[in-house]
Amino acid sequence: MPKMKKRERGEAEIPTASMADIAFLLLIFFLVTTTIDVDTGIGMTLPPKLDQEQDPPPVKERNILKILVNAQGQVLLEDKPSALTRIREEVITHLTNNGQNANYSESPDKAVVSIKTDRQTPYDIYIQTLDEVWMGYFSVWDSQARELNYPSYQEYKNSLGPDEENQVKEIYPAQISIAEPDPGSGES
Amino acid sequence: MASQHFQKKSANTKQEIPTASLPDIIFMLLIFFMVSTVLRETEVMVQTRLPRAEALTKIEQKRLVSYIYIGPIQRGPNQGQTAVQIDDALIDNQNTISQIMYSKLQQQPRLIVSLRVDESSEMGIVTDVQQELRDAGTLRINYSSRQDREGTVSG
């Protein structure tokens, strides 16, 4: 009997005071080893590889808005020297032309924006050029979305279901062509 | 009298915060972070100062993304030389990129390639990599860049 009494008195609990510390350590480990920041960037789709014999699809000269960037970061817009900031307006006029001006596109779905660089062009300038072109598209999309009674293109896109067609992109498809660069002038 | 009264009161009330549920709270936090984040997998050996841009889109599904780093090497004998890094290794022969990316595409058909290119790089190497990507058939790419100005939201 005295033996039984002793057993009852002895505590059979696991000490849980340090449990929080262990959990904290694990938490800190995961906080350090994981990435939380959302990746942002400019999305593009590369053209699929063409066969050697196959010619690229013909596009009328007036439907292409040509942007050339040289090794010094200077911009040639439709063969005229121009500032980087002008690109956005030009893209918007090009897209919304609808055949009015003979120098710009016939219709929005035929309009193509072509960017060509040198091999020595700084990547930074290229991204700025591409960014301006995309901002041109975004502002056209925004105004088209407003015609459909949405406050912005983003709102319209969010309201679309997974299988619904994007009407804005149907009217103004993003057609940006990235041409292969010229060899350039040797060392920059 | 007064001091006696105080002593009596403090002796009777329990002043400890109950810590029994603390581990549970921490575990909840831990599980949240484990589920919502992706493990950092690679050590970047090239410097990538990303360019700034306005027309940004977010990559929602991080599991689809594969990274290609282009920039000057940070350490070692070839420091400062522009190099391409995929996963953990620097690429010696650029012709192998298409094979690497093709095998990645087989594993993940909806692959998005994120190009993390240093802003001081030249277009030549970027175009070479893009040609390799076209060979491999990984056509969805993303030029990783930072937000231009604080507060501007676009996409």
Instruction: Give the rounded percent of residues in chain A with a pLDDT score beyond 90.
Output: 0
CATH 3.30.420.270 is held by the domain B52-147: yes
Structural domain of residue A78, as residue ranges?
61-178
- Which structure tokens are listed for A78? 């439709």
Most B-contacting residue of A127, A156, A185 (CB-CB within 10 A), to test interface: A127
ipTM comes to 0.73
Looking at the complex, does the CB of residue A33 fall below 8 Å from at least one CB of chain B? Answer: yes
Measured distance CA(A121)–CA(A65) in Å, rounded: 19
Measured distance CA(B72)–CA(B118) in Å, rounded: 8
pLDDT at A98 (0 to 100): 81
Segment B55-99, tens digit of pLDDT: 888 887 778 888 899 999 988 888 888 889 988 888 888 888 989
A135, B54 in Cβ contact below 8 A?
Answer: yes
Asked whether residue B21 carries a pLDDT value surpassing 70, the answer given is: yes
What would the mean pLDDT of A47-57 be, rounded to a whole number? 72
Dihedral Cα A88, A92, A93, A97, nearest 10 deg: 160
pLDDT at B106 (0 to 100): 92
Name the residue ranges covered by the structural domains of chain B: 52-147
Measured distance CA(B81)–CA(A55) in Å, rounded: 37
Distances (CA, A) of A109 to A2, A113, A170, A176, B49: 95, 11, 8, 12, 36
Query: How many C-beta atoms lie closer than 10 Å to residue A184's C-beta?
Result: 17
**Residue A9 within any structural domain of the chain:** no
Query: How many C-beta atoms lie closer than 10 Å to residue A108's C-beta?
Result: 18
What is the number of CB-based contacts under 8 A between chain A and chain B? Answer: 161
Amino acid at B88: D
**Residue A118 within any structural domain of the chain:** yes
Dihedral Cα A64, B119, A89, A97, nearest 10 deg: 20
CA distance A3 to chain B (A): 32
What would the mean pLDDT of B105-131 be, rounded to a whole number? 89
Chain B, 95 to 124: residues with Cβ < 8 Å from chain A are 112, 114-115, 117-124
**Residue A165 within any structural domain of the chain:** yes
pLDDT at B3 (0 to 100): 52
What would the mean pLDDT of A119-125 be, rounded to a whole number? 88
**Residue A107 within any structural domain of the chain:** yes
Tally helices (H) and strands (E) across chain A: 6, 7
Question: Of A72-76, A142-146, A184-188, B114-118, which gets the smallest average pLDDT?
Answer: A184-188
pLDDT band for B9, please (50, 70, 90 cuts).
low
What would the mean pLDDT of A139-150 be, rounded to a whole number? 88
Taking 3-state DSSP, the helix, strand and coil percentages for chain B, each rounded to the nearest 5, stand at 35, 25, 40
**Residue A138 within any structural domain of the chain:** yes
CB contact under 8 A, A20 and B23: yes
Segment B121-133, tens digit of pLDDT: 888 888 889 988 9
